[in-house]
């Protein structure tokens, strides 16, 4: 076993993901699956530079992110009845009537929330999307690294800063 795999197995164990866990459940599955991915990566013999590129490329593809900008061409769309969905980027849609394309997750809303049974009632942020999360796009288009985050005041928490 390579040094990387020994190190990774110990780190996973310390974090509660033990491949030797007698219970056949998610913690063991995550440990085994992660070590399997790391073994393939380790066997490829990447140097520091190529490892950085391989990790970035793998992460984008594993998260279903397009590697190049969407073109908006007809062959990029699946017909979903009342709208089209982009086959390369599943959170991009096109209105059949208007032809306007939009990113469905372009705005993420957040607000403060508290509950007496959670963390002694200390306020925490909750995040959500809605029909108002749509952001119109023009092609070529590449998804930004993150959406726009928008604070939503409530009666209990009218201010963004507590």
Per-position pLDDT tens, the chain of length 162: 688 899 999 999 999 998 888 888 999 999 999 999 999 999 999 888 999 999 999 999 999 999 999 999 999 999 999 999 999 999 999 999 999 999 999 999 999 999 999 999 999 999 999 999 999 999 999 999 999 999 999 999 999 999
Integer-rounded Cα radius of gyration of the chain: 22
Torsion of CA 8, 12, 15, 18, to 10 degrees: -150
| Boundaries of every domain in the chain | 3-62, 74-151
- Predicted structure pTM score: 0.79
- Distance, first Cα to last Cα, the chain: 50
pLDDT of residue 48: 85
Contact 132, 150 (CB under 8 A): no
């Amino acid at each position: 076993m390579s040094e990387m795999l020994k190190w990774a197995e110990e780190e996973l164990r310390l974090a509660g993901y033990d491949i030797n866990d007698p219970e056949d459940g998610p913690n063991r599955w995550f440990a085994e699956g992660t070590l399997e991915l790391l073994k393939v990566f380790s066997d490829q013999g990447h140097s520091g530079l190529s490892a950085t590129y391989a990790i970035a490329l793998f992460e984008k593809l594993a998260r279903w992110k397009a590697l190049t900008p969407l073109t908006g061409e007809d062959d990029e769309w699946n017909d979903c009845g009342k709208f089209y969905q982009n086959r390369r980027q599943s959170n991009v849609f096109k209105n059949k009537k208007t032809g306007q394309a939009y990113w469905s997750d372009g705005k993420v809303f957040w607000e403060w929330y508290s509950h007496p049974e959670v963390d002694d009632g200390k306020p925490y942020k909750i995040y959500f999307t809605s029909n108002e999360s749509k952001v119109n796009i023009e092609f070529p288009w590449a998804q930004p690294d993150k959406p726009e985050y928008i604070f939503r005041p409530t009666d209990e928490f009218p201010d963004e800063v507590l």
